[in-house]
Every structure is written in C-alpha cells, then in structure tokens.
Amino acid sequence: QVQLQESGPGLVKPSETLSLTCTVSGGSISPYYWNWIRQSPGKGLEWIGYVHYSGSTIYNPSLESRVTISLDTSKNQFSLRLSSVTAADTAVYYCARDYDPSGKYYYYMDVWGKGTTVTVSS
Amino acid sequence: DIQMTQSPSSLSASVGDRVTITCRASQSIRNYLNWYQQIAGKAPKVLIYAASSLKSGVPSRFSGSGSGTDFTLTISSLQPEDFATYYCQQGYSGPRTFGQGTKVEI
C-alpha cells in the first residue's frame, strides 16, 4: 500500500525559501503525477503544482514565479521549494498522488500524506 | 484558468437528511470533476471521480452527477461520520483547481 510522508522545517523566516520533501513508500514514483497542495488556517485547498515521473511540471499560475517541484527517483521522493515566503504562505502542506483508474485521463488524487504545518514567522 | 464555484459554502443538516452540494465550472470541463471529503484535521479523501464514478470503498449513499459546467454531490441519508467539508476539483485542463469548499454541519 502506497504511503506518502511530508517532511521539512516547521518554521521558515519571511523572505526565505520553504523546502519540503515527500517520501513515497510501498510503491514507485513511476508512472504517476505527484502533487503539492496547501491549506491556510481555516481556508480551503489550494493546488500548488505537480511533477510527472518524467520530470515535467505544471504550477499554479498564482505561485509559478516562486515555486519549483522536482523529483529524486533514486530516493523515491519529490520536493517543493517556495521562495520569498511571507506570512500568507503559512499553511498545512500536503503531497498527493494523481491516479487514473481508466487510462482515460480521469485523474484524481488517491493517496495523500498526512500534511505538515509550515509557519512563516521571524 | 478554470474557476470552480461551490454552493452553499456551509449548510446545517441532521442525521438522515438528504444533502445536495453544487459545483459550477467557469467553462466546460466535460466530466473531469472529482469530489473530496475532508474531516477536520485530516487529509482529504476522494469520494467521486469522473463526475459520477464512486471510488471503491466509499458508501453508496454518496453519488455524483453532472457534466459540462454544472455538477452535484448528493448524500442520500446523512450519517454522523459525514459531517465534514466537501470540495470539488477539476482535472480537465491546465492547473488543477478546487472549489472553495462546503462545510456540512449539524
């Protein structure tokens, strides 16, 4: 059974770079898409972006200038970097796998990590 | 980008009630629409994919319908464990986008 686990600093200073890693256990990175999603306190879900096992990426346009998502297939991990953070980036960050059960591009996020809380504060 | 709008943003209901949540896309997304349930403090889990396909293991009281721009999630008989926040999400094109959520409360 595939499991995801987010890891990284829980506190980041304003203007610095937030870095998180999601470790995939019980399964392979290929042939899936791997997402990052966040949820600010008391707010809804915000999709940050995804990386395909091939290495291609798509990002939320509202964050694109500050976001990098990358893969490390040798470690079965993928990572999120968000630069120039502010208090508005304080959130629970989730990683999740995209799954297409039919082969017809009906992707949904079927496996999620438990989430990690990141606070931006000096 | 495709915007997703849910209504209502919250609702009060009782055990046994039939509950309907709607989701509207800013342009046609055919049936590339998923529904998630999020219990407070937990990660979301998928209930419905491709607008009307029930994820394996999800109770049959949950159902989804719609295509194009208008979609519905229905809970036929609300159970205590169903009090949660529900999100729609489009996977048709470009960046994934979620609705703002509907909180189902007692």
* CA–CA dist B67, B84 (Å, integer): 24
Q: Give every CB contact of residue B42 below 8 A, 6+ residues apart in sequence.
A: A114
Check pLDDT > 90 for residue A103. no
The whole-number pLDDT of residue B33 equals 97
Which residue of A46, A61, A108 is in closest CB contact with B34?
A: A108
What would you report as the CA-atom Rg of chain A, rounded to the nearest whole angstrom?
Answer: 14
Contact A49 B95 (CB under 8 A): yes
Which residues of chain A have a CB within 8 Å of the CB of B50?
A: 102, 106
Q: Which residues contact A119 (CB under 8 A, 6 or more apart)?
A: A10, A11, A12, A90
What would the mean pLDDT of A1-12 be, rounded to a whole number?
96
Whole-number mean pLDDT of chain B? Answer: 96
Confidence tier at B14 by pLDDT (50, 70, 90): very high
A2 touches chain B (CB under 8 A): no
User: pLDDT (tens digit, 9 = 90+) per residue, A13-44?
Assistant: 999 999 999 999 999 998 999 999 999 999 99
Q: How far apart are the first and last CA of chain B?
A: 34
Which residue from B46, B94, B99 is facing A108, i.e. has the nearest CB? B46
Chain A with chain B: Cβ pairs closer than 8 A: 62
